[in-house]
């Protein structure tokens, strides 16, 4: 409820300032393609579109905001790691539990971005702590996790590291 109210206030401020939300392209769900290949392609296409190169983004929240996903963080005092909301005309919002480690927060934000790009037709998504509530076989969550990993650690960067330092 608090998150929904923050989203509404955020949007009211944007409207008062004459700011219309930008919305990144949406990716259609894969029909017959491999989930891993699909999510990696979405991550690579997105990194290329945002001109991120192969490095981990420094200010992910700012990058995502420019791409139409507004990021907020609060202490959720629950098992909720993140939350994603999307409404036509209003755009996308992501909530990240700030009580997690910085690495967890970064991954959760990238995960919610994956929902924004690949699952916004659903409208909303709650992401509970996967340690406490495993959802084996949930293709939507697997896709968002794989997107986050590929987006934060692109194949080219991993291969380059392996060639120079991994052996």
Q: What is the pLDDT of residue 132?
A: 42
Angle value at C-alpha 134, between 25 and 5, nearest 5 degrees = 55
Q: Is the pLDDT of residue 135 over 60?
A: no
Residue 127: pLDDT band (50, 70, 90) is low
Tell me how far apart the alpha carbons of residues 29 and 26 are, in angstroms, rounded to a whole number: 9
73-118 tens-digit pLDDT: 888 777 778 888 888 878 899 999 988 899 999 999 999 999 999 9
Q: Provide, for the chain, the percentages of residues in helix, strand and coil under a 3-state DSSP scheme, each rounded to the nearest 5.
A: 50, 15, 35
- Give Cβ neighbours of residue 120 (< 8 Å, ≥ 6 apart): 26, 86, 92
């Amino acid at each position: 409820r608090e998150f929904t109210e923050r989203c509404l206030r955020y949007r009211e401020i944007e409207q008062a300032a004459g700011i219309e939300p930008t919305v990144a392209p949406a990716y259609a769900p894969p029909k017959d393609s491999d989930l891993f290949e699909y999510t990696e392609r979405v991550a690579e296409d997105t990194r290329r579109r945002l001109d991120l190169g192969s490095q981990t983004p420094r200010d992910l929240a700012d990058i995502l905001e420019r791409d139409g996903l507004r990021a907020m963080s609060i202490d959720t005092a629950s098992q909720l790691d993140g939350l994603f909301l999307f409404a036509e005309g209003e755009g996308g919002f992501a909530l990240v539990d700030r009580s997690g480690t910085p690495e967890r927060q970064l991954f959760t934000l990238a995960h919610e971005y994956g929902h924004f790009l690949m699952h916004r037709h659903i409208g909303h998504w709650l992401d509970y702590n996967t340690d406490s509530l495993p959802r084996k076989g949930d293709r939507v969550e697997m896709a968002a996790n794989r997107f986050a990993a590929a987006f934060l650690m692109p194949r080219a960067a991993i291969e380059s590291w392996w060639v120079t330092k991994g052996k």
